[in-house]
Amino acid sequence: MTNFPKDFLWGGAVAANQCEGAYQVDSKGLSLVDILPDAKQGRWDALMHPKAAAQKTYDFYPSHESIDFYHTYEQDLEMMAEMGFKVFRTSISWPRIFPNGDDAQPNEAGLAFYDKLFQKCRDLGMEPLVTINHFDTPLALMEKYNGWADRRLIDLYLRYCDVILHRYHKLVKYWLTFNEINMILHIPFLGGGMDVSDLSAKEALQTKYQAAHHQLVASAKAVKMAHEIDSDIKMGCMLAAGEVYPNTPAPADVLAALQANREGYFFIDVQARGYYPNYAKAFFKANDLHIEMTDADLAALKETVDFVSFSYYASRLVSADPEVAAEKGEANVFNSLKNPYLPTSSWGWQTDGVGLRITMNNVWDRYQKPLFVVENGLGEKDELTADHKVHDAYRIAYLKENIDQMGQAIADGVVCWGYTSWGCIDLVSASTGEMAKRYGYIYVDRDNNGQGTNARYRKDSFYWYKDVIANNGVTE
């Protein structure tokens, strides 16, 4: 018995910056991600101090070649189609279209690549689901404007949207304005290369929320633009989600969890409801933050998204007690206490399928807009056997638990359009720059140093997911 509707969109997700490689091919400009080294050379430090990182020369940049999807996309998409994908989520690399972000004309060679990519998806019966900006803002916008801290990024982003929405609207119906928009509070670099490392804590907070405001206005204006270009287009927002649990039933812990949840929901509250929530205004006041917003901005925010998408890897745990709060675990890149009820991956991420059901119910109850689970999965080390097999039972167990719980959420009454598990083909990890942290159904023969044949092999999970799709979510 399946809980999934018959037109449920099953598929997988990647992002341009983590799979395409070809970092300077066909006149592509450098993106922010192109200056990031791998973990051994200090990727995290570079994320936190991007201006300093941009001055350094590293031995190896994982994004430069990545898995070379730019040249292998046809065969890769054919393998996705073989699994029965009905949707394929990827992103457009902004610096392929505007190499410097503010060029007078778009780059035709970059546009032509996505014509072919999206057409190939369609030919194979897959809906493309496209993220407009997934971490790879043109590097020049960091150097010239300090990223989204500068209001002018709104118009530059809208020019880019105008070009791609006009060009691809007949091929692409589902769009996301910004990947994990709430991440800007945790990794400001992802806000177009913002560097807040020299600022006081208060100034940094002010800068991050001002940049967030610029992104929220840009997102709302992009939604309006898309609807005017083609009324069939469905525009979504995208949250790095994961319910935050209180460490104990102590009311102070419950309040701390409520506040931590709001930190992420803040973005979606604006994008899905069309105005700033009162708690945000109270937060700005309490922290003496003065966010510049014009009446025209507030009017623009009224254009809301058609659906709410999110990534979900793990739940989180918080405590109001500063001593307890000092103990750290991991949940995506967020801080979280260690939850004794949950297993962890080799990278310390705590896995929690029931947390997906809880998150889906809460997001649905809050917005009453269709959901799309656009990232979920387990990053683990895989072993390729001599006969080119990968026996990834651990990944199947993770996905089974999560898909079953997603089905339970749908049975609870949540409306969900689809599911694209993360990294359906192995790609470069965003947080560590490693290849060894693999999420895929398809193994890519490439290591952390970019060595390997780059050949593709089907893992056990490939055949398992194919059956899940064929049986519309039955995971037995």
Taking CB atoms, the residue at the shortest distance from ligand BG6 is: 431
| C-beta closer to ligand BG6: residue 185 or 320 | 185
User: Nearest approach, Cβ of 442 to ligand BG6 (angstroms)?
Assistant: 16
From CA 328, how far away is CA 313, in angstroms rounded? 17
349 Cβ contact partners less than 8 Å away, ≥ 6 residues apart: 313, 314, 330, 331, 332, 379
Number of residues that bind ligand BG6 (CB under 6 A): 15
DSSP state of 333: B
Number of helices (H) and strands (E) in the chain: give both, helices first. 17, 14
User: Nearest approach, Cβ of 306 to ligand BG6 (angstroms)?
Assistant: 20
User: Nearest approach, Cβ of 271 to ligand BG6 (angstroms)?
Assistant: 17
256 scored as a contact of ligand BG6 (CB under 6 A): no
| C-beta closer to ligand BG6: residue 206 or 309 | 309
User: Nearest approach, Cβ of 93 to ligand BG6 (angstroms)?
Assistant: 13
| C-beta closer to ligand BG6: residue 188 or 379 | 379
> For residue 59, how many other CB atoms are within 10 A of its CB?
9
Can 327 be counted among the known catalytic residues? no
Exactly one of 11, 12, 15, 188 binds ligand BG6 (CB under 6 A); that residue is: 15
311 scored as a contact of ligand BG6 (CB under 6 A): yes
Residue 438 β-bridge partners: 380
Question: Which tokens sit at 452?
Answer: 């390997």
| C-beta closer to ligand BG6: residue 332 or 405 | 332
From CA 449, how far away is CA 446, in angstroms rounded? 8
Can 180 be counted among the known catalytic residues? yes
345 scored as a contact of ligand BG6 (CB under 6 A): no
Pinpoint the alpha helices (H) of 330-458.
353-367, 393-411
Question: 162 to 181, contacts with ligand BG6 by CB under 6 A?
Answer: 179-180
Q: How far is CA 433 from CA 72, 92, 295, 348, 474, in A?
A: 20, 20, 42, 16, 34
319 scored as a contact of ligand BG6 (CB under 6 A): no
Exactly one of 196, 223, 237, 240 binds ligand BG6 (CB under 6 A); that residue is: 240
Q: Are 171 and 119 in contact (CB under 8 A)?
A: yes
Exactly one of 197, 248, 344, 431 binds ligand BG6 (CB under 6 A); that residue is: 431
> For residue 400, how many other CB atoms are within 10 A of its CB?
16
Choose the catalytic residue: 20, 127, 303, 375. Answer: 375
User: Nearest approach, Cβ of 185 to ligand BG6 (angstroms)?
Assistant: 13
Choose the catalytic residue: 180, 243, 303, 330. Answer: 180
Q: Is 156 exposed, middle or buried (0-12, 13-18, 19+ CB in 10 A)?
A: buried
DSSP state of 138: B
264 scored as a contact of ligand BG6 (CB under 6 A): no
Q: How far is CA 181 from CA 21, 99, 122, 158, 185, in A?
A: 24, 22, 28, 16, 9
Exactly one of 422, 443, 457, 465 binds ligand BG6 (CB under 6 A); that residue is: 422
Residues that bind ligand BG6 (CB under 6 A): 15, 18, 179-180, 240, 311, 332, 375, 379, 422, 429-432, 437
Residues involved in catalysis: 180, 375
